[in-house]
Amino acid sequence: MTNQLADAATPGEILSQTDFFQQLTPIQIDRVVAVSEMQKFESGHQVYRIGEPAKAVYVLVDGTVRMTIGFGDRNAKAGDIVRRGDVFGWAALTPGCNQRIATASCLSPCDILAVDGVGLLNLMEQDHTLGYRVMTQLTRLITGTLTAFAGG
């Protein structure tokens, strides 16, 4: 993702500049913005922890986040780094099994766009084209995440 993301003035510009949401139309982006909010976190803050309910999917606008996957209360020692423009927290889009399987911790101060998971799922149900585009990206994201963790 380019440096333009940090300079984006609105949540709509942020979403349209991410690989995950860039296939959506401007109207669809506006709908996603309606179920989103900007959040700021300090270095060391845990955005979410293993086992918590997955309520939002996130776009990292600025900063660095470490993802540590785990099972139960145990985290793996290694983790993946989330960078500007990346989407993380995809469990919020997996109805029926939407518990966190990783911990997301800010390694620096972070600006994050939080997209309400239930709100986005409702939009996907109402607009099947939006739903198809998001699910296509979600499949790529999950596959890439699992491949990255398996590869170490």
Residue 40: what pLDDT?
97
pLDDT per position as a tens digit, 51-69: 999 999 999 999 999 988 7
Q: Per DSSP, what are the bridge partners of residue 106?
A: 65
pLDDT per position as a tens digit, 122-152: 999 999 999 999 999 999 988 876 666 566 5
The answer, as to whether pTM is greater than 0.85, is yes
Across 41-53, average pLDDT: 95
Residue 2: what pLDDT?
43
Residue 142: what pLDDT?
83
pLDDT per position as a tens digit, 73-111: 555 555 688 989 999 999 999 988 889 988 999 999 999
Q: How confident is the model at residue 31 (pLDDT cuts 50, 70, 90)?
A: very high
CA 127 – CA 42 distance, rounded (Å): 36
Domains and CATH numbers, the chain: 4-137 (2.60.120.10)
HEC secondary structure over the chain: CCCHHHHCCCHHHHHHCCCCCCCCCHHHHHHHHCCEEEEEECCCCEEECCCCECCEEEEEEECCEEEEEEECCEECCCCEEECCCCEECHHHHCCCCCECCEEEEECCCEEEEEEEHHHHHHHHHHCHHHHHHHHHHHHHHHHHHHHHHHHC
Widest Cα–Cα separation across the chain: 42
Examine the pLDDT at 71 and tell me if it is beyond 90: no
Q: How confident is the model at residue 1 (pLDDT cuts 50, 70, 90)?
A: very low
Query: Which comes out higher in pLDDT, residue 25 or 76?
Result: 25
Residue 151: what pLDDT?
61
Q: Report phi then psi at 85, rounded to 5.
A: 90, -10
